[in-house]
Chain A
Amino acid sequence: MYSFEPNEEQKMLIEAVGKYAANDLRPAGREAEEGGSLPPKLIDKGWELGVLQASIPEAYGGFGDRSAVTGALAGEELAFGNLAGALAVGVPSLFALPILLGGAEEQKQEYLPKIVEGNWTPYTAALIEFAFDFDPLALKTTATLAGGEYVLSGEKAYVPFAKEAQAMIVYAALDGVTQGFIVPKAAPGLTVADEAEKMLGLNALPTYRVKLDGVKVPKANRIGGDSGLDFERILASMRVANAAAAVGVARAAFDYARDYAKEREAFGVKIAQKQAVAFMLAEMRTEIEASRLLTWEAAWKLDTGKDDANVDAYLASTGAADMAMMVTDRAVQILGGHGYIREHPVEMWMREGRGFAMWTGFAMV
């Protein structure tokens, strides 16, 4: 059947997450952006909502089953509050979900409980590389099997919370195929840059360059063991998360611009009463809806194991990245000069809007 209504559990989750997004994340957003970090208490509070915990079965310390649809719904709500905060809360998913989805039984038993049963702890993942033609399916970081161990070499960029991470999944090309490897903290040959990276946007999310200089990990650290990992499926899940977050940010920008347009007067009427502005808003709202539905469908296909889920996830994230840029740009345009100054949040959303084209690997649902 077709159906477009979240179930009761999802509605409760959306409500709880929505409250946290509005009451906690949103108010802290600007200061975090300017200061370049998020208050740990804020992240802890988000973690306690249990979005990831609800995706991990009881056998591994969680209290539910993973649903990409539920993850997308929660991701949109969180990003509506503040993107950096949303991504920070979800960072442990970057480590836990690939293990849940593609890990060997021993890996699930070893890692999942200690991630989900405790407080928020930075377990992370390193996917992106610093190159204009970065392609997650053709990585420059390599893994080679030598003497019963995997040897990892290369350089990763934009690794969230790498500095404090207890462990990270490093994605590397093994015989040309992207695979994931668990690299513990302080592994010899692993260097994390001292300073967080500086970006166009998302300044509150600490991300780091990571160097792998012949890092050796045991065979048991390859995700999925000897049979490995269906990375394209993991990538699809990351893309759905990216798309959901883009919808959340775009919705935030749209709401703000709409309310502003209904307040602001020019030539004796509210600017929202001008078709030039009203039509922009109508198109923004329409495109947000388009992206949201594409994201939901891709997530549903992941959950139901459809073959074309990967393609749909790619379409959803590509579309959402363009949509987010368009919507956030227009939000700035509608506020005019006020959109350009940092007193209002729309300039921040516009900087974030540009990022979705490269953020695959920052989130997972």
Chain B
Amino acid sequence: MTIEFEAPKPIAQTQFVLKTVAEEMMRSKSRYFDDHEHEIPWDYIEFMHTAMKAMGAGSLAPKERDNGHDGGQKEKRPPIAYQSLAAQIEMLAWGDVGFYLVTPGGGLGAAAVQAAGTPEQKAKFLARFMGEKPTLGAMCMTEAGAGSDTSSIRTRAVLDEKTNEWILNGEKIFVTAGDKAFNEYEKLGKGFLVVWASIDPAAGRAGMRSFVVEGGTPGVKVTKLEEKLGIRASDTAAISLVDARVPFDHILGSPTVEKTTKGFKGAMATFDATRPLVAASGLGVARAALEFLKEKLAENGVEIRYGLPRQKLTNIEREVIDCEIMLKSAWLMVLKAVWMADNKQPNALESSMSKVKAGDVGTKITQKAVEILGPLGYSREFLLEKWFRDAKITDIYEGTGQINRLVVARQILGYSGAELR
């Protein structure tokens, strides 16, 4: 081991390919799909599915094979699955973060299966993302009364011992790609939702489990598609579950209610893996905005003079330099968090810090770029105003900046949830 910052070759190659995708397939359609909320960018979805299958990826969820565990058949490669995923996501989000969120491959749903599922469950549920048609997955965590406070989830799962099925009841909101993962579309394969529910409300967090709910399951309905500030190419669904039945082995991980928070910790472990990835998507948008800002400034004869003492910098230069410092360091924090994940090091602190930072950075850079460019920044002639709206979600979903600060604070202080509320 040593300290190094060279992008591994496979990552650099994928980024090169994805940049073309981002420019050709995403940027050119960004405005249209922002204006036509709830229309589905089929061209992008189908293209990405074909492309990823051709690359042998199939799913954006990291695979064991890529993680250096190939049964000793081949020479062991250093594990870079999460690192390359972060780089891919950053590049796709640079293209269009709304499109990125409808990239086939399972998304957070697959990530949850990957993090909490048994080997059998992974084999069973993840294979579909390599199928004929593009397929999506989604994660149903948030409820009207339970946002970041995931422990107060009301959705219930009761085992029907006669049929050995789980019966789910509850209302979920803010499910990213929930519609495409659940509803049937001619051009999509059958996806699934991962639904978080309690199997024992008295047990609190210990009773929390996640369930795979197949697309089209009776009793489950998409009740609403949210209209949003940004990321409009992606659907954000409200989903109701009324006596929805799922097979016994669709509970991820252990079905028994131990008096521990293991199940809940499974959920949190999912977030340790996915927070830096969400952070990466925010940084992709931020980079797009910063590049656009610098391009427009250069067209107007404003060059950034790196190396000058701050007393000699113009205000615009100083602000652009600050944005670059924020973006670069935030990206390095994401890289460190996913590098730790790849190397099986506990990364709860680094993961949350990267999300805190990326939420701030995405918000500040896009806001600053609009401000500096004035009428150009505010105009819908350009995509900058859209990126300003798109970027804000990074500071909100997968834990708001505040809840992530709380997670960071508990980690650095060694406090439990009870000690620091």
Segment at the A interface, from B3-11, B25-33, B219-227: B3-11
Contact indicator A286/B413 (Cβ below 8 Å): no
Assembly CA distance A5 to B311 (angstroms): 36
Contact indicator A294/B413 (Cβ below 8 Å): no
Contact indicator A286/B409 (Cβ below 8 Å): no
Assembly CA distance A318 to B333 (angstroms): 18
Contact indicator B4/A278 (Cβ below 8 Å): no
Q: Which residues of A contact B340 (CB under 8 A)?
A: 4
Q: Which residues of A contact B335 (CB under 8 A)?
A: 2, 4
Question: Of A6, A69, A289, A312, which contacts B333 at CB under 8 A?
Answer: A289
Contact indicator B339/A2 (Cβ below 8 Å): yes
- Decide if the interface of chain B is mainly helix, strand, loop or mixed: helix
Segment at the B interface, from A94-102, A132-140, A341-349: A132-140
Contact indicator B309/A282 (Cβ below 8 Å): no
Contact indicator B332/A6 (Cβ below 8 Å): no
Contact indicator A290/B6 (Cβ below 8 Å): no
Assembly CA distance A151 to B4 (angstroms): 43
Q: Does B42 contact A (CB under 8 A)?
A: no
Segment at the A interface, from B62-70, B152-160, B257-265, B323-331: B323-331
Contact indicator B408/A4 (Cβ below 8 Å): no
Assembly CA distance A132 to B309 (angstroms): 10
Assembly CA distance A304 to B312 (angstroms): 30
Contact indicator A315/B307 (Cβ below 8 Å): no
Contact indicator A4/B339 (Cβ below 8 Å): yes
Query: A286 and B356 in contact (CB under 8 A), knowing A281-B413, A319-B325?
Result: yes
Question: Of B312, B322, B328, B329, which contacts A133 at CB under 8 A?
Answer: B312
Question: Of B7, B310, B413, B415, which contacts A2 at CB under 8 A?
Answer: B7
Question: Of B8, B78, B325, which contacts A318 at CB under 8 A?
Answer: B325
Q: Does B321 contact A (CB under 8 A)?
A: yes
Q: Using a CB-CB cutoff of 8 Å, which residues 308-326 of chain A contact chain B?
A: 310-312, 314-316, 318-319, 322
Tally of contact residues, A, Cβ under 8 A: 50
Q: Which residues of B contact A282 (CB under 8 A)?
A: 353, 356, 405-406, 408-409, 412
Give per-residue flags for A1-28: 1 if the beta carbon is below 8 A from chain B beta carbons, else 0: 1111111001000000000000000000
Give per-residue flags for B17-42: 1 if the beta carbon is below 8 A from chain A beta carbons, else 0: 00000000000000000000000000
Give per-residue flags for B352-396: 1 if the beta carbon is below 8 A from chain A beta carbons, else 0: 010011000000000000000000000000000000000000000
Contact indicator A279/B409 (Cβ below 8 Å): yes
Assembly CA distance A258 to B357 (angstroms): 20
Contact indicator A4/B307 (Cβ below 8 Å): no
Q: Does A215 contact B (CB under 8 A)?
A: no
Q: Which residues of B contact A290 (CB under 8 A)?
A: 326, 329-330, 332-333, 357
Contact indicator B336/A293 (Cβ below 8 Å): yes
Contact indicator A318/B310 (Cβ below 8 Å): yes
Assembly CA distance A10 to B2 (angstroms): 9
Contact indicator B408/A3 (Cβ below 8 Å): no
Q: Which residues of A contact B339 (CB under 8 A)?
A: 2-4
Contact indicator A133/B357 (Cβ below 8 Å): no
Contact indicator B413/A262 (Cβ below 8 Å): yes
Smallest CB separation, B317 vs chain A (Å): 11
Q: Does B308 contact A (CB under 8 A)?
A: yes
Interface centre among B8, B83, B415 (most CB of A within 10 A): B415
Q: Does A297 contact B (CB under 8 A)?
A: yes
Q: Does A174 contact B (CB under 8 A)?
A: no
Smallest CB separation, B328 vs chain A (Å): 6
Q: Using a CB-CB cutoff of 8 Å, which residues 63-118 of chain B contact chain A?
A: 78, 80, 83
Contact indicator A297/B420 (Cβ below 8 Å): no
User: What class of interface size applies to chain B in its complex with A?
Assistant: 35 or more
Contact indicator B356/A315 (Cβ below 8 Å): no
Give per-residue flags for A123-136: 1 if the beta carbon is below 8 A from chain B beta carbons, else 0: 00000000011111
Q: Which residues of B contact A86 (CB under 8 A)?
A: none
Q: Does A185 contact B (CB under 8 A)?
A: no
Query: A281 and B409 in contact (CB under 8 A), knowing A135-B312, A300-B3, A319-B329?
Result: yes
Contact indicator A6/B2 (Cβ below 8 Å): yes
Contact indicator A3/B332 (Cβ below 8 Å): no
Query: A294 and B328 in contact (CB under 8 A), knowing A3-B4, A281-B412, A286-B356?
Result: yes
Smallest CB separation, A175 vs chain B (Å): 19
Contact indicator A4/B336 (Cβ below 8 Å): yes
Q: Using a CB-CB cutoff of 8 Å, which residues 294-350 of chain B contact chain A?
A: 306-312, 321-322, 324-326, 328-330, 332-333, 335-336, 339-340, 350
Question: Of A2, A133, A262, A316, which contacts B4 at CB under 8 A?
Answer: A2
Assembly CA distance A294 to B361 (angstroms): 15
Q: Does A166 contact B (CB under 8 A)?
A: no
Q: Which residues of B contact A132 (CB under 8 A)?
A: 311
Q: Does B1 contact A (CB under 8 A)?
A: yes
Q: Which residues of B contact A281 (CB under 8 A)?
A: 409, 412-413
Query: A135 and B309 in contact (CB under 8 A), knowing A6-B3, A315-B324?
Result: yes
Contact indicator B308/A135 (Cβ below 8 Å): yes
Smallest CB separation, B105 vs chain A (Å): 23
Assembly CA distance A290 to B328 (angstroms): 9
Smallest CB separation, B338 vs chain A (Å): 9
Q: Which residues of A contact B2 (CB under 8 A)?
A: 3, 5-7, 10
Contact indicator B408/A286 (Cβ below 8 Å): yes
Query: A137 and B307 in contact (CB under 8 A), knowing A273-B415, A293-B336, A315-B325?
Result: yes
Assembly CA distance A297 to B405 (angstroms): 25
Assembly CA distance A207 to B415 (angstroms): 44
Q: Which residues of A contact B408 (CB under 8 A)?
A: 282, 285-286
Question: Of A69, A135, A312, which contacts B3 at CB under 8 A?
Answer: A69
| Chain A residues in the interface with B (C-beta under 8 A) | 1-7, 10, 69, 132-137, 232, 235, 258, 261-262, 272-273, 275, 278-279, 281-283, 285-286, 289-291, 293-294, 296-297, 300-301, 304, 310-312, 314-316, 318-319, 322, 357
| With A258-B412, A289-B336 already in contact, 13 other A-B pairs whose C-beta atoms are closer than 8 Å | A1-B80, A2-B335, A3-B4, A3-B339, A4-B3, A6-B3, A262-B413, A278-B406, A282-B408, A282-B409, A283-B405, A315-B321, A322-B322
| Chain B residues in the interface with A (C-beta under 8 A) | 1-8, 78, 80, 83, 306-312, 321-322, 324-326, 328-330, 332-333, 335-336, 339-340, 350, 353, 356-357, 402, 405-406, 408-410, 412-413, 415, 419-421
